[in-house]
């Protein structure tokens, strides 16, 4: 990349960061979901196992997903951990079958980056 291309990239990055800092709305990495009665939606156990279906996944995705899940598990104030349970050929994501599966697929042309489907008790969360 040429020097002017690098400078343009740095300027674009700085402008993007400035725009994010200038936004009035608060930004957070996650949102805690609650039931209609206000109960926090969360796993009852202090750990959750997950499977990864690598079909249609980009190169290095297995390691990237494991690293990301481990990063969440390593938060010093967290008492919750993700446990890698191996690969699977199942693509039954979104089914109420008790399995947590990470899959990759084309999400369409509407700009969707990811989708999260979860099941919970409406009374206990």
Instruction: Give pLDDT tens digits for 53-112.
Output: 888 888 998 999 999 989 989 999 888 899 999 999 988 877 888 888 888 887 778 877
The residue that leads in pLDDT, 112 or 2, is: 112
> What is the domain range of residue 90?
35-102
Question: 77 in a domain, yes or no?
Answer: yes
Alpha-carbon span 124 to 115, nearest angstrom = 24
Alpha-carbon span 40 to 116, nearest angstrom = 17
Task: Tell me the average pLDDT across 8-36.
Answer: 60
Question: 21 in a domain, yes or no?
Answer: no
Two tokens, residue 62: 């297995």
Question: 57 in a domain, yes or no?
Answer: yes
- pLDDT of the residue at 20: 52
Question: 90 in a domain, yes or no?
Answer: yes
- Whole-model pTM above 0.75? no
- pLDDT of the residue at 71: 92
Tell me the sheet residues that pair with 51: 101
Closest to 78 measured CA to CA, from 39, 53, 28, 42 = 42
Question: 56 in a domain, yes or no?
Answer: yes
Angle at 24 between CA 21 and CA 29, to 5 degrees: 65
Phi, psi of 19 (to 5 degrees): -65, -40
């Amino acid at each position: 990349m040429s020097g002017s291309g690098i400078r343009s990239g740095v300027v674009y990055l700085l402008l993007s960061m400035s725009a994010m800092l200038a936004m009035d709305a608060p930004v957070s990495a996650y949102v805690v979901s609650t039931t209609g009665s206000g109960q926090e939606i969360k796993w009852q156990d202090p750990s959750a196992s997950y499977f990864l279906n690598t079909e249609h996944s980009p190169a290095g995705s297995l390691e990237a997903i494991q690293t990301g899940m481990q990063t969440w598990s390593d938060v010093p104030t967290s008492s919750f951990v993700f446990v890698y349970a191996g690969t699977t050929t199942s693509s039954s994501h979104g089914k109420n079958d008790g399995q947590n599966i990470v899959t990759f697929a084309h999400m369409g042309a509407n700009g969707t980056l990811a989708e999260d489907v979860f099941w919970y008790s409406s009374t206990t969360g």
